Chain A
Amino acid sequence: MSDFTTWDILRNLLLAARWTVVLSVVSFVGGAIVGALLLFMRIGKGRAGPAFVKAYVEIFQGTPLLMQLFLAFFGLGLFGIDVPAWLAAGVALILWSAAFLTEIWRGCVEAIARGQWEASSSLGMGYVQQMRYVILPQALRIAVPPTVGFSVQVVKGTALTSIIGFVELSKAGTIVTNATFEPFKVYGIVALIYFCLCWPLSKSSQILERKLNVAHRNH
């Protein structure tokens, strides 16, 4: 019955894995850009900005990513706008990543000791100068390991987009299984490919954490 070799399976899955990578990169980079904008609104001085971002983060952290994907995919359809799966997946993942990255980075900014603000204030620096020259350079350093660590969540998050029909690694796994009737083998390979994508990221996050800690060992 089945004339599919292991190589056939692997080759098709790897081809689909490209889309997992593309979607991950787009989501992460887009999420970082939106997240940075949200961060500045969140830690800025106004009143509406922080309140808006707080609500935004709570909504995205308080609902499953799957529901966000459904809403992006079917929600706009209600208004007669035909949303392709890749667009819905991209938008939902970008907004979702942004919510988490903003929150991670806010923690990093707030981890900078109050004395740094006070010292730079007492030297006459304004808010933007303090941010630019004193706070962000230090916050950035502590933000690197958790940010890289979060990228693993993004890669795994892309698996959910298979449900709205975006053909990436997981969806390809389902399709190939339907043709080969070898679910264990196929999903085993799928899992292995995910692991090969995620493990280097986790590992580099650990290494970065150790490296950057050494840089200020005496604090």
Chain B
Amino acid sequence: MSLIEITEVKKRFGDNEVLKGINIDVEPGEVIAIIGKSGSGKSTLLRCINGLETIDDGSISVAGAQLLPDEIHLKALRLKVGMIFQQFNLFPHLTAGRNVMLSQMVVKKTPRGEAEAMAKKMLERVGLGHKFDAYPDELSGGQQQRVAIARALAMQPIALLCDEITSALDPELVNEVLAVVKELASEGMTLLMVTHEMRFARDVCSRVVFMHQGRVHEIGPPGEVFAEPRTPELKQFLGML
């Protein structure tokens, strides 16, 4: 059984059908890059996987937890998949450490001491152990994004969804975030990432999904997808036409 099973998922916003029947199965430990033009539905797909958008048809399950629109099922699902956002979305009124501690204490009812230890460990892991008491506005974009990764990791998810996590960063800060993601990948974390970093997708990912007009247009290992695109749309997207 696959870890993440996305079956015939359809989603429409009004008259606009953004997902027209998506099927993807993700095995444990896979790192999947989702690429495509803006408006191709890639972010929507990611947001559907942890229930930030409801789906109109089809099904999604993560390690046996079904996506259903009630709070109990959503919570069960969200404990299994973490999500990182383009805009970091750190809680600005809390320090980095408290950002990482909050959901552990509130959602998992972890005692304060344990949550703090976990927060220190996770911040250490993304190279920000010394920023425990810094507020988000005292951190650079790259550091904020790494705190966001630590915050998601502290919930011990079995998969992470990354929604264009380097798109809002200055170019010189992109690498410090990608380095953390790369390390997670090498440790066996299952990752689904919407990204524009083609080099990263080529080097780190096990499979690449090319989305076009709400469908999975091409899917395969990066070597294949980048070297021998089969469709004119992908060729055009990769700048080969």
Contacts and interface: CB of A to CB of B under 8 A. Distances in A.
A119 interface: yes
B78 interface: yes
Given A115-B85, A116-B89, A125 B103 contact: yes
Contacts of B85: 115, 118-119
A141 B93 contact: yes
B71 A126 contact: yes
A217 B137 contact: yes
Contacts of A120: 91, 103
Interface string A114-147: 0110111111111101000110011001000000
Contact of A125 (B52, B87, B89, B106): B106
Given A116-B91, A216-B137, A122 B82 contact: yes
Q: Interface residue tally of chain B, by bracket?
A: 20 to 34
Contacts of A127: 71
Classify the interface of chain A: helix, strand, loop or mixed: helix
Interface string B100-142: 0011001110000000000000000000000000000100000
Contacts, number: 67
A62 B238 CA distance: 58
Nearest to A140: B93
Contacts of B151: 123
A13 B130 CA distance: 61
B182 interface: no
A141 B92 CA distance: 11
A123 B137 contact: no
Nearest to B161: A122
A97 B78 CA distance: 41
Given A118-B52, A118-B85, A119-B90, 13 more contacts: A115-B85, A116-B89, A116-B91, A118-B89, A121-B51, A122-B50, A122-B82, A123-B102, A123-B151, A123-B155, A124-B103, A137-B93, A216-B137
Nearest to A126: B71
Contacts of A115: 85, 87, 89
B147 to A, nearest CB: 11
16 contacts: A115-B85, A115-B89, A118-B83, A119-B89, A121-B52, A121-B74, A122-B78, A122-B152, A123-B78, A124-B107, A125-B107, A126-B75, A129-B107, A138-B93, A216-B137, A218-B137
